[in-house]
Amino acid sequence: MSEVKETKFDLGEFTRSVVEGLDQPSTPDIQDVEHDERYNDFITILPQNITIEGCDQIIEQHQNLPFSEVEEVDDLSFKPVDVKDGISYKYQHDSGIDYSVIYDGTKEFAKVVEVFEGIIPDHPDFDVINFIQIAHYHQDSFFAPHKDIADSNDTATMMLLLNDEYRGGTINIRGNQIESSTGTVVMFNNSTETWHSVEPIYEGERYVLLVWFGRENDS
């Protein structure tokens, strides 16, 4: 195993923790975060922390799901018209992004979670998984600056970059650019108050796993 090098950058309101040189998944050390402070903000970045095989396993779950027709519930959510409740499904969004919605209790959920469960931080904002999506960005697609406000119980967000055969797609979190490659994990808490975005894809296609977490006593 290569030497683990950890570097922390003071970014004002939160800390960006970068762990470099890992050749296998490792749980980030964020014990210095005050567990009683829900809004003590941090970002943790684990470069190339998940294997290519693990990333491909997640992409496969997305690709194997058939597309479903959906109807808009409100500005932030959709529901399938041809799939029973609790069944994972995939749909095309007008933004040019395809989404897979992965439900707990399905074979897709089990296959996805086994890839990243070993790196979930021991922190109350990551107690339970609230929601899982796989997003497939096509050329010219992007995600404008936003906060994760679809569920007020969300307390943390995780992004796992599943491939890097594209140009563009830089992640911005509160004005900080994060360049990433296959297997890179980005995690931050205080999801409903953290501005973030994805720059346009200029060439190729981008796959990313998105996981939202909550506190056990809030779910």
pLDDT at 17: 35
204 φ/ψ angles, rounded to the nearest 5 degrees: 85, -165
Supply the pLDDT for residue 166. 94
Q: Is there a contact between 178 and 171 (Cβ–Cβ < 8 Å)?
A: yes
Tens-binned pLDDT, residue by residue, of the chain (219 aa): 333 333 333 333 333 333 333 333 334 443 333 333 444 677 899 999 999 999 999 999 999 999 887 767 665 566 776 767 888 999 988 888 999 999 999 999 999 999 999 999 989 999 999 999 999 999 999 999 998 887 888 999 999 999 999 999 999 998 888 877 999 999 998 888 889 999 999 999 999 999 999 998 765
DSSP H stretches of helix in the chain = 52-64, 107-116
Q: What is the DSSP letter of 138?
A: P
For the 5-218 domain, the top CATH level (class) is mainly beta
Q: What is the pTM of this model?
A: 0.79
Q: For residue 87, report the phi and psi dihedrals to the nearest 5 degrees.
A: -105, 130
b/e for 150-165, b at 16 or more Cβ within 10 A?
bbeebbbbbbbbbbbe
Burial pattern 80-116, b for ≥16 Cβ within 10 A else e, equals beebeeeebbbbeeeeebbbbbbeeeeebbebbbebb
pLDDT the model gives residue 93: 87
Q: What is the model's pLDDT at position 13?
A: 33
- Domain residue limits, the chain: 5-218
Task: State which amino acid sits at residue 155.
Answer: T
Helices (H) and strands (E) in the chain, counts: 2, 17
Distance CA 120, CA 67 (A): 30
The DSSP bridge partners found for residue 166 are 204
pLDDT of residue 99: 95
